[in-house]
Amino acid sequence: MSDSTTPVRLCTTCGRSLPATADYYTSHPSGLYGLSNKCRDCKRAYDAEHAAENKEAKRLRNRSYYLAHRDEILSQQPAYRAGRADEMRDYFAARYVAKRDVIVAQQRLLAEKHPERRHANYLLNYSRKKGLVVARPCDVCGAPKVEGHHDDYAKPLDVRWLCRSHHRKLHHQLSH
């Protein structure tokens, strides 16, 4: 555990004497030997408890920071994503390949469970490709990139055009 040259430090929380090394204590610039007065186990437990007690305050702090710096944050995102486009594409492609069998099985199960939904989506997509149906901007926000939402699968070409975000929100509302 320790040799005679390694100093020992007492954890102020649990009272254990452990070698004063970074393996047992986190670093702290003003602490003895540059280490915290709590061992790693006690520090981890304290941090988890503190995070749980202050979850709402942290959420509010983060939200107010975001609102105060929203324009700056949003202006940085496209450049950040553009700089990482290859990395992100490779990451998502690898993730898909790793889970492809599960994804295909889930899609097949869903199609078998809801054949009317599958048929309505097939007819809508076919009609869009042939130019028989033209998508309109999102009915809620006007976004140009939309998905068709079927209120009634028996009417496959009668859809509401919604962006991905509003489509997901609608399905969340319908399921709860």
Ranges of each domain in the chain:
8-53, 58-111, 116-175
Cα 174 to Cα 100, 122, 141, 147, 167: the distances in Å are 28, 22, 19, 17, 11
**pLDDT tier at 176, thresholds 50, 70, 90:** confident
The secondary element (H helix, E strand) that includes residue 39 is strand 35-39
pTM above 0.85, yes or no: no
Average pLDDT of the chain?
A: 92
What pLDDT score was predicted for residue 5?
A: 83
- Tens digits of residue pLDDT in 62-99: 999 999 999 999 999 888 888 899 999 999 999 889 99
Cα 54 to Cα 43, 60, 159: the distances in Å are 16, 10, 45
**pLDDT tier at 168, thresholds 50, 70, 90:** very high
